[in-house]
Amino acid sequence: MVEKLQKIWVDGELVPWDEAKIHLLTHSFHYGLGAFEGIRCYKRADGKSIVFRLREHIDRLFDTCKLVLLQPKFSREQIMRACIDTLKANSLEQGYLRPVIFMGEGAMGIYAPDNPVRAAVIAWNWGAYLGEDALKNGIRAKVSSFARHHINVSLAKAKMMGQYTNSVLAKREAKLAGCDEAILLDTSGYVSEGSGENLFIVKRGKLLTPDLGSSILEGITRDTVITLAREMGLVVEETRIVRDQLWLADEVFFTGTAAEITPVREIDSRVIGEGVPGPVTKKLQARFFDVVRGSDNTHPEWLAEV
Ligand code: PMP
C-alpha cells in the first residue's frame, strides 16, 4: 500500500493529497493513451538527497509524448522542477517519483483532439520493489505465455500507460504460478524483458542483453549498468537472446528503476548457475548502489540534488 503523504503536483500546483483526483470521464483512464515515468530519489552517504538520472527520465517522458502525439503544457524544465518540488513538499528524503502526462475529460471518442493534456507528479515511499530478500538472494522467474508487444502493434520505446496491461497479465501469471517475476519473449520468440525490468545474462564472464532494435523499453538502469560494467572492464554485448541461453546462463539479473539490480536464481524450474547471485551480478550491484546512494562520485552528471 502506498502510504499517504501531503501533496501531489497537479497541472502546475501542489494540491493536498486527498484532493488530487481525476474525473471518471478522463480519456486516458478509458483508452490508456498517456505517458508516465518512474524515478528514484536516494539519500546518499553524505546525507544529501539526489534524484537519479532525472534529466534522462524526463527526456524519455517527452519522447513517449512525441511517440503518442501528446503535447504537454509544461516544459521539460518545469516537470523536472515539479519533481523536486513534490519531494520537498512531502519532506521525502528518498522515494519514488511518478510523473504522468495524460488526456483529461471532454470528448469520449477515440480521437478527442481537444481534450486537455494534463500533467501530474506523485511521490511516495518505495523500498525494494521485489523485496530486500530478492536483492540479496535473487528471485524465481517464469517465461510468460504472454509475448511482449510486436514493435508495430504498440510502441516499444514508449513508457505508455495502456501498454502495461501486457505487463500486469504476465506478472499475474508468474505470481499465480508461484514465481516472483515474468520474462516476456517477443512475438518471434526471442527474449525481451521483464514486466517492468530489462534483463541481462552473464555467460563466461560476458554480459549479454537484448539490443535496442528489439521490443524492449530503453531502460535507464540498463544504460547505467552497461556504462558501469564497461568501466569495470566487463564486455557487454547487445544482441538477440533465445530462451535456451537464459536457462544455460551462469547468471541472470533484472534492471529497472524500481527493481534496481535484482538477481534471478531460477527460471522455469532450471537453477541459474549455482542458484545464488553470481559474482558478476554482485559486483555490479555493489557498484550500482555505491553510485546511487553510497559515496562513489564518479558520475555527478547522473545526480540531481533535491
Ligand atoms: N522495461 C519495462 C517494461 C519497464 O516498465 C521498465 C521500468 N521503467 C524497464 C524496462 C526499466 O527501465 P528503467 O531502468 O528506465 O526504469
User: What residue numbers bound the domain in which 31 lies?
Assistant: 7-124
Task: Confirm whether 299 is domain-assigned.
Answer: no
C-alpha 18/C-alpha 5 separation (Å) is 9
Domain tally, the chain: 2
Per-residue confidence band for 247, with pLDDT thresholds at 50, 70 and 90: very high
Same domain for 203 and 279?
Answer: yes
| 8 Å CB contact between 117 and 101 | yes
C-alpha 59/C-alpha 46 separation (Å) is 28
| DSSP annotation of 303 | E
Q: Looking at residue 265, what is its pLDDT?
A: 98
If one residue of 159, 184, 186 were mutated to test the ligand 1 pocket, choosing by the most ligand atoms within 8 A of its CB, it would be 159
Q: Which three cell numbers stand for residue 160?
A: 505508455
Same domain for 141 and 100?
Answer: no
Per-residue confidence band for 9, with pLDDT thresholds at 50, 70 and 90: very high
Instruction: From the CA of 256, give the closest atom in ligand 1.
Output: 14
Backbone angles phi, psi at 107, to 5 degrees: -80, 150
Percentage of the chain beyond pLDDT 70 is: 100
Q: Looking at residue 51, what is its pLDDT?
A: 98
Per-residue confidence band for 2, with pLDDT thresholds at 50, 70 and 90: very high
Same domain for 199 and 285?
Answer: yes
Q: In a 10 Å sphere around its CB, with 0-12 CB exposed, 13-18 middle and 19+ buried, how is residue 201 labelled? A: buried
Cα 26 to Cα 52, 54, 72, 163, 291: the distances in Å are 31, 27, 16, 17, 40
Same domain for 111 and 193?
Answer: no
Backbone angles phi, psi at 54, to 5 degrees: -55, -50
Q: Looking at residue 17, what is its pLDDT?
A: 98
Q: Looking at residue 299, what is its pLDDT?
A: 98
Task: Confirm whether 301 is domain-assigned.
Answer: no
Q: Looking at residue 130, what is its pLDDT?
A: 94
* Helix 54-68 with 76-89: angle, nearest 10 deg: 130
**Is this model's pTM higher than 0.95 or not?**
yes
Instruction: From the CA of 257, give the closest atom in ligand 1.
Output: 16
Per-residue confidence band for 82, with pLDDT thresholds at 50, 70 and 90: very high
Helix (H) or strand (E) holding 14: strand 13-16
Instruction: From the CA of 56, give the closest atom in ligand 1.
Output: 15
If one residue of 217, 218, 254 were mutated to test the ligand 1 pocket, choosing by the most ligand atoms within 8 A of its CB, it would be 217
Is 282 a known active-site residue? no
144 lines ligand 1 (CB under 6 A): no
Q: Looking at residue 67, what is its pLDDT?
A: 98
Helix (H) or strand (E) holding 34: strand 34-36
Q: Looking at residue 128, what is its pLDDT?
A: 93
Same domain for 148 and 266?
Answer: yes
Q: What CATH number corresponds to the domain at position 140?
A: 3.20.10.10
Region 76-82 average pLDDT: 98
Q: What CATH number corresponds to the domain at position 49?
A: 3.30.470.10
Pick the last residue of a domain from 57, 91, 124. Answer: 124
Residue-wise pLDDT tens digits, 145-169? 999 999 999 999 999 999 999 999 9
Same domain for 177 and 112?
Answer: no
Task: Confirm whether 1 is domain-assigned.
Answer: no
In whole angstroms, how large is the CA radius of gyration of the chain?
19
Q: Which of 159, 206, 282, 283 is catalytic?
A: 159
Task: Confirm whether 304 is domain-assigned.
Answer: no
| 8 Å CB contact between 95 and 87 | yes
Ligand 1 centre and the CA of 257: distance in Å?
A: 7
The DSSP bridge pattern shows strands 39-43 and 49-52 to be antiparallel
For the chain, what percentages of helix, strand and coil (3-state, to nearest 5) are there? 30, 25, 40
Q: Looking at residue 144, what is its pLDDT?
A: 98
Nearest CA to ligand 1 atom 9: 197
The DSSP bridge pattern shows strands 270-271 and 260-267 to be antiparallel
Ligand 1 centre and the CA of 296: distance in Å?
A: 24
Q: Looking at residue 78, what is its pLDDT?
A: 98
Helix (H) or strand (E) holding 282: helix 279-293
Same domain for 51 and 192?
Answer: no
Residue-wise pLDDT tens digits, 160-210? 999 999 999 999 999 999 999 999 999 999 999 999 999 999 999 999 999
C-alpha 215/C-alpha 68 separation (Å) is 17
Nearest partner of 199 among 136, 249, 149, 127, judged by Cα: 249
